[in-house]
């Protein structure tokens, strides 16, 4: 909220200082709320980069669908999205660039918090949600260098590089793996604290080796060997959210 107010204040100041000059025209002020919308549109549509309706955007942001239309119109006015009520919203080239940059910052901050500030993987999301809106490119560059230019965050999500390129991932849901095949955990599809804590209780983390020992016909739950040491039962729903290669 404070950052949103600052963005509005700074934008108004620039207009007073420069009016409609070419200098002002080249500056794009994107508020925290606008960044969150761009990130939500990207998250819902990636990797297809297609269109998305108000309802899905509202669900992603946890807000009332009725409040979405006005913000989408503002983003369209800034040429960050293409939008009409019938077909929904689609990121423009500039909108995609802005969305990917926010995601890059978010995942780098999550990595920093886990690797250097003793946060656990279920604690970092809310903090990174705040840090991702810092606008210093120098800080972002220094953070990237400090972390050794990582390609993936603590949840296994790919970190876009400075040019917006996103590392490819070839992985499958654990629920799709046949019995007896040894696989490695590379990503989780659910970053909620409740699911991550559930995995902690099961002793499952990124890079762990898993072998599906049994699949129950009744409910498709799995008996899984973890790191060759212990066996745990996973529901079919949980198995779908564990990605392996």
pLDDT tens-place string over residues 203-215: 999 999 999 999 9
Task: Please state the domain count of the chain.
Answer: 1
The pair phi, psi for residue 185, each rounded to 5°, is -70, 125
Residue-wise pLDDT for 193-205, tens only, equals 999 999 999 999 9
- Per-residue buried b or exposed e for 1-26, using 16+ beta carbons within 10 Å of the residue's own CB: eeeeeebeeebeeeeeeeeeeeeeee
| Average predicted confidence (pLDDT) for the chain | 90
Residue 27 pLDDT grade (very low, low, confident, very high; cuts 50, 70, 90): low
d(CA 79, CA 85): 16
Q: What pLDDT is attached to residue 21?
A: 42
Q: What is the pLDDT of residues 111-141, one digit of tens each?
A: 999 999 999 999 999 999 999 999 999 999 9
Share of the chain above pLDDT 70, in %: 89
Q: Which domain holds residue 201?
A: 172-244
Whether pLDDT at 89 is above 50: yes
Task: Give Cα 128 to chain centroid, integer Å.
Answer: 10
Q: How many whole angstroms separate alpha carbon 10 and alpha carbon 26?
A: 15
> Rounded CA gap, 123 and 127, in Å?
8
In a domain, 230, yes or no: yes
Q: In this structure, is residue 72 part of a structural domain?
A: no
In a domain, 203, yes or no: yes
Of the two residues 149 and 27, the one the predictor is more confident about is 149
Looking at the chain, the whole-number percentage of residues with pLDDT higher than 90 is 83
**Residue 15 — very low, low, confident or very high, per pLDDT cuts 50/70/90?**
very low
Asked whether residue 163 is assigned to any structural domain, the reply reads no
* Cα–Cα distances in angstroms (integers) from residue 52 to residues 34, 59, 76, 86, 89, in the given order: 16, 11, 14, 10, 5
Does residue 143 form part of some domain? no
Terminal CA-to-CA distance of the chain, rounded, Å? 41
Instruction: Say what the pLDDT of residue 25 is.
Output: 41
Find the CATH number of the domain harbouring 222. 2.30.30.90
């Amino acid at each position: 909220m404070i950052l949103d107010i600052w963005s509005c204040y700074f934008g108004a100041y620039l207009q007073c200082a420069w009016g409609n000059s070419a200098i002002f025209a080249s500056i794009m002020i994107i508020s925290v709320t606008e960044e969150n919308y761009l990130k939500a549109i990207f998250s819902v549509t990636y990797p297809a980069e297609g269109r998305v309706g108000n309802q899905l955007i509202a669900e992603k942001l946890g807000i009332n669908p009725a409040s979405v239309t006005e913000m989408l119109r503002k983003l369209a006015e800034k040429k960050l999205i293409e939008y009409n009520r019938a077909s929904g919203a689609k990121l423009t080239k500039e909108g995609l660039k802005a969305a990917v940059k926010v995601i890059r910052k978010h995942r780098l901050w999550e990595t920093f918090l886990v690797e250097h500030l003793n946060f656990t993987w279920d604690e970092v999301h809310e903090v990174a949600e705040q840090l991702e809106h810092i606008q210093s490119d120098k800080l972002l560059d220094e953070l990237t260098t400090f972390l050794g230019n990582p390609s993936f965050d603590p949840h296994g999500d790919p970190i876009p590089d400075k040019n917006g390129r996103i590392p490819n991932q070839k992985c499958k849901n654990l629920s799709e793996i046949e019995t007896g095949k040894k696989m490695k955990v590379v990503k989780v599809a659910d970053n909620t604290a409740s699911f991550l804590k559930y995995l902690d209780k099961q002793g499952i983390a990124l890079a762990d080796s898993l072998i599906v020992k049994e699949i129950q016909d009744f409910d498709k739950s799995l008996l899984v060997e973890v790191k060759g040491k212990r066996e745990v039962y996973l529901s079919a729903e949980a198995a779908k959210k564990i990605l392996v290669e």
